[in-house]
Structure 1
């Protein structure tokens, strides 16, 4: 899985990135996400970056329905990871927040995942690690911009 073309096409990079994501899933599968499921973990990640959103906005972000999203939040609230609060602008709405316990869970999960990654990265030559870091930083910027743009589009159409 080497790339000799100094200017690879997006589809080739997407294929390799997809393979890397699959390998990450295997590595990270060793670091349990209990007591939350993969869909519940996605809720925590969305809430971490969108504090105070309502259920409909969260459902849209997840590509789910409000009833399904509400059930996910019920379970996360039961384990103390999510808090629901009355909205300040509209008392009929609830705002969703990560609790302290939810934030601590994400911090611990990330530490365990980073530990798993570190052992792989230690086996890479330093120059390749530097190139990977630069590429991933650029990817994160582009992905965050696209996610933000999608959120703004969803908010305008709601």
Structure 2
């Protein structure tokens, strides 16, 4: 364990451990069923939750996919009642995408199941380890958020 007075781990080591933790989280979260949606559909839902009202092309870009493939994902999500489409105020040909109330409820319940899976692991950790984890993850989230915002600013300038 690295303490505030102990050696400072190199970013490569931290990246390796973080990747390992992310993989373990995926396994834990995989135990919390995402049925009736696939991993790709779940990603669509997360994007729509954070960028409500985007159009299909913007969603496809965010997924690194094509509009026809993305449209099929949204068709399936709409069929189960998780996504709604609405005409754009700007163009009659463009549709805006939204999570439905049912979709929001699904995500809330999924997050709750995932949190319970993580809580079971955290309960096995010593309190000092949990405190260090909160501190480290808070710093990581702040740095990642700043980098993402910086990347968005660069994307806007280069457009």
In the superposition, the TM-score normalised over structure 2's length comes to 0.90
CA distance in 2, matches of 1:90, 1:119: 49
The runs of at least 4 consecutive aligned structure 1 residues that moved more than 6 Å come to none
Partner SS, residue 75 of structure 2? helix
Instruction: Check conservation: 1:52, 1:96, Cα contact below 8 A.
Output: yes
Q: How many residues align?
A: 157
Question: Which position in structure 2 is the counterpart of 1:38?
Answer: 39
Q: C-alpha deviations, 1:63-118, integer Å up to 9, x for none?
A: 11111111111111111111111011222111111100000000000000000000
Deviates more, 1:103-112 or 1:21-30: 21-30
CA distance in 1, matches of 2:101, 2:50: 14
1:8 aligns with 2:9: yes
Q: Residues 150 and 9 of structure 1: is their aligned pair in 2 closer, same or farther, counting only changes over 3 Å?
A: same
- The unaligned stretches of length 5 or more in structure 2 are none
Instruction: Check conservation: 1:60, 1:154, Cα contact below 8 A.
Output: no
1:16-95 correspondence runs (5 A) = 16-95=17-96
Question: Which position in structure 2 is the counterpart of 1:102?
Answer: 103
Instruction: Check conservation: 1:28, 1:116, Cα contact below 8 A.
Output: yes
In angstroms, what is the RMSD of aligned CA positions? 1.8
Larger radius of gyration: 2
CA distance in 2, matches of 1:154, 1:71: 27
- The unaligned stretches of length 5 or more in structure 1 are none
Q: 1:7: how far off?
A: 1.9
Q: 1:146: how far off?
A: 3.1
